[in-house]
Amino acid sequence: MTRAISLHDVSKSYTRGTRVVDRVSLDIEPGEFLVLLGPSGCGKSTVLRMIAGLEEIDEGRLLLDGAYANDLPPSGRDMAMVFQNFALYPSMTSRHNIGFPLRFEAPGMDPRPRVDATARMLGIEEVLDRFPAQLSGGERQRVAMGRAIARHPSAFLMDEPLSNLDAKLRNHLRAEISTLTRELGVTTVYVTHDQSEAMSLGDRVAVLRGGVLQQVGTPRSVYALPRNVFVAAFIGTPRINLLRGMMRAPLGAAMTISLGKQYLRLPEPLSLDHQLLRVQQGREVIVGLRSEAVRIAKPSAARPGEMALTGLVEHVEFQGHEALVHFNTGSSPAVVPDLEAPRPAARSTRRRREGGPGVLDRLRDRAGALRAGPVAVLDEPRSTAPVTPPEGRLPGDLIVRTAPDIDLRHGMQVPLLVDLAHLFVFDHHGERICPAPARAPDLEE
């Protein structure tokens, strides 16, 4: 038996009323593998613990198979949790660790047949009589998973179970988890901050930031149509190129996006998505380009929908099967604050000494709270000092994926072609406006 899980406007607060989870709504189908993805401190583990019953729900409702379950104790939810730190009993062998919960669920039943069957499934028969201290990290993780699987629960809840393992073992166990959960057909909620895990494991991915649900969809749809700048920047390797641009849409002339020293001319006839950009005339926007949307080629080799740019080589990353080339095109990168920080910067709620905030101030604060703080920064820097790249980002404003055998050196001027069919445009709030959203936003949301 597997289980449907529904969260309706679920919130959780700790000290000083700060919401670590803010009105999250999710419907998880029976047998679905859903991944909760986001940076550290975004509230994803708290959501998992509220589903498990380890955290109380302050607001909203949790439904299990359509039944209200906010007050149901963890033992009554028929769920098994796999923790990040394995949580094995050091004084018990692997056999007893796996069979321990069965002794409470069915006191009169012999747990050995189910333990042996689980061990065969996970390939750990040879370590059943060893203690946790005698096991490798991968073996301990398999034992922890075996303890969950042996119970035959209606749902698996996994809280970053692979984060303490080395990269090679993590990739191996990732494939095993995917295979096992699909064979068992059990609803699985998996928490991770690793977007590679999320994209390879999940039937759907739910992206969280600052306790607010940003987007839910299949890995392909979240990558291809990110709802906002944060989702676009968080998902994808290498990180999407985000450039500050200015829309130019003069009457009777071609529409262009100014990128500082260069510009992108939108191909004519304009597509419907590009036509809708006309309302952004004179406004600053954020241009998003995945590394595969740009290629190194001369303007004479342009295909329909490709426009030319020029870049100076800043750095070349050799990846073996490909190379990542960092170019300087004279553009200004858009900053996505708090992308890796625990939470977005807190907004001040203190009233002004005279008069207090006006209606517009309160509406602006509420809108900002619903977006979990500003997503993109388009204001001019206050200092005239040179702007250093964000931590972890190499010099240059445009990263292009190319063949590994390309011969490029620092300082070379290289012709580039941009495929505008894969162009993303975001407004100054960081919301995607091109391609246009599938529906108009609901003002009451």
Regarding whether 153 and 109 lie in a shared domain, the answer is yes
Regarding whether 276 and 174 lie in a shared domain, the answer is no
255 within domain boundaries: yes
H/E run at residue 416 = strand 413-419
For position 378, what pLDDT does the model report? 57
The whole model's pTM is what? 0.82
Regarding whether 238 and 212 lie in a shared domain, the answer is no
Regarding whether 421 and 319 lie in a shared domain, the answer is yes
Q: What is the mean pLDDT of the chain?
A: 84
**Percent of the chain scored above 90 by pLDDT?**
51
376 within domain boundaries: no
Alpha-carbon span 394 to 399, nearest angstrom: 10
Domain edge (last residue) among 226, 255, 290: 226
For position 376, what pLDDT does the model report? 58
Domain edge (last residue) among 226, 252, 281: 226
Q: What CATH number should be reported for the domain holding residue 273?
A: 2.40.50.140
383 within domain boundaries: no
**What confidence tens digit (pLDDT) does each residue in 161-197 have?**
888 777 777 888 888 888 888 888 899 999 999 999 9
- The lowest-confidence range among 147-151, 200-204, 352-356 is 352-356
84 within domain boundaries: yes
Regarding whether 198 and 60 lie in a shared domain, the answer is yes
Alpha-carbon span 207 to 203, nearest angstrom: 13
Q: What CATH number should be reported for the domain holding residue 26?
A: 3.40.50.300
Which domain, by its residues, includes 128?
5-226
Average pLDDT on 329-353 reads 59
Domain edge (last residue) among 197, 226, 255: 226
Regarding whether 153 and 281 lie in a shared domain, the answer is no
349 within domain boundaries: no
381 within domain boundaries: no
Neighbours of 220 (CB within 10 A): 10
Residue from 406, 194, 239, 408 nearest 315 by CA: 408
Regarding whether 282 and 410 lie in a shared domain, the answer is yes
Q: Tokens representing 429? A: 């709030």
Q: Tokens representing 268? A: 């004519």
254 within domain boundaries: yes
Alpha-carbon span 101 to 330, nearest angstrom: 61
Regarding whether 308 and 220 lie in a shared domain, the answer is no
Regarding whether 167 and 107 lie in a shared domain, the answer is yes
User: Which CA distances in Å does 42 have to 19, 39, 192, 238, 340?
Assistant: 10, 6, 11, 22, 10
On whether the CB atoms of residues 201 and 177 are closer than 8 A, the answer is yes
Regarding whether 151 and 65 lie in a shared domain, the answer is yes
Residue type at 95 in one-letter notation:
R
Regarding whether 285 and 190 lie in a shared domain, the answer is no
91 within domain boundaries: yes
For position 401, what pLDDT does the model report? 93
Alpha-carbon span 196 to 130, nearest angstrom: 33
For position 388, what pLDDT does the model report? 44
- Alpha-carbon torsion 328, 330, 331, 337, what sign? positive
- The lowest-confidence range among 278-282, 402-406, 435-439 is 435-439
Domain count, the chain: 2
Residue type at 245 in one-letter notation:
G
Regarding whether 69 and 100 lie in a shared domain, the answer is yes
